[in-house]
Amino acid sequence: MTWRRSIGAAILGLVVIGLASIWAAAPRSLDAKMGPQRLRTPWKAYLDEQERALAAGDHARAMRAWGDAKTAALASRRWEPLLDVGDAALRVGDGTGSPARARRSARHVYRAALFRARAQRSVDGVLRAADAFASLGDRTVTEGALHAARKLAAGTPDTGLRSRVERDAARIAARVVAE
């Protein structure tokens, strides 16, 4: 009986070693020349690719790069990359001649950024998302985001933060009214 267990354990060990070897030898999608900053922020690499494609007039490549950036930003679980990707959607729309579609894409990504920022209790993130919605002329969402920023700031003992939120909120609200 112990002989059979030893054979079984040996076979299992060889299978595990073989699978580990295959995994270690498999080609990686990451370029060895990538710097550490690019590895930490993959959405930025895609956005750089998008800008190069737009400059070259390659709209299909720009759209693919933007889609990859959006996927990476959503996977990051952070609000900052989502705002970058929303801004990039507007640039793609300008470059490809489809601003209405780009505005819908930007709105979708900005909304995800707003929800994440609020969930992470980031006053700065909520304010930046409010500013992004103001740039789209979306008064309702802008006002809701400003309300959320004020509420987050009110929950802290930092009077400087509350003052800054009021200043930024006034600037953002004036911007959405002007557009």
Q: What is the pLDDT of residues 90-141, one digit of tens each?
A: 999 988 888 899 999 999 999 999 999 999 999 999 999 999 999 999 999 9
Question: The CATH number of the domain where 63 resides is what?
Answer: 1.25.40
Whether residue 167 is contained in a domain is answered as yes
**DSSP code string of 84-110:** HHHHHHHHHHHHHT-HHHHHHHHHHHH
Confidence of residue 23 (pLDDT cuts 50, 70, 90): very low
Q: Please give the helix or strand (H or E) that residue 131 lies within, else none.
A: helix 123-135
Q: By the 8 A CB rule, do 75 and 109 touch? A: no
Whether residue 47 is contained in a domain is answered as yes
- The residue type found at 88 is A
Whether residue 97 is contained in a domain is answered as yes
Closest CA to 127 of 94, 74, 176: 176
Whether residue 23 is contained in a domain is answered as no
Whether residue 15 is contained in a domain is answered as no
Whether residue 8 is contained in a domain is answered as no
What proportion of the chain, given as a percentage, has pLDDT over 90?
66
| Burial classification of residue 49, based on how many CB atoms lie within 10 Å of its CB (0-12 exposed, 13-18 middle, 19 or more buried) | middle
Tally the domains of the chain: 1
Whether residue 155 is contained in a domain is answered as yes
Whether residue 44 is contained in a domain is answered as yes
pLDDT at 74 over 80: yes
- Structural domain boundaries, residue 135: 39-178
